[in-house]
Amino acid sequence: MTNNITLDRAIYRLCHNDGTLTELTLCGLRLNAADGTLLARALATNSTLTTLSLWNNKVRAEGAAQMAEALATNSTLSFLDLRDNNVKDEGAAWLAAALAINSVPWL
pLDDT above 70 (res 105): no
Q: What is the pLDDT of residue 73?
A: 87
Q: What is the pLDDT of residue 75?
A: 86
Burial class (CB within 10 angstroms; exposed 0-12, middle 13-18, buried 19+) of 97: middle
How does pLDDT run across 45-91, given as a tens digit for each residue?
Answer: 999 999 999 999 999 999 999 999 998 888 899 899 999 999 999 99
Compare 103 and 57 and report the one with higher pLDDT.
Answer: 57
Helix (H, G, I), strand (E, B) or coil at 57: coil
Q: What is the pLDDT of residue 30?
A: 94
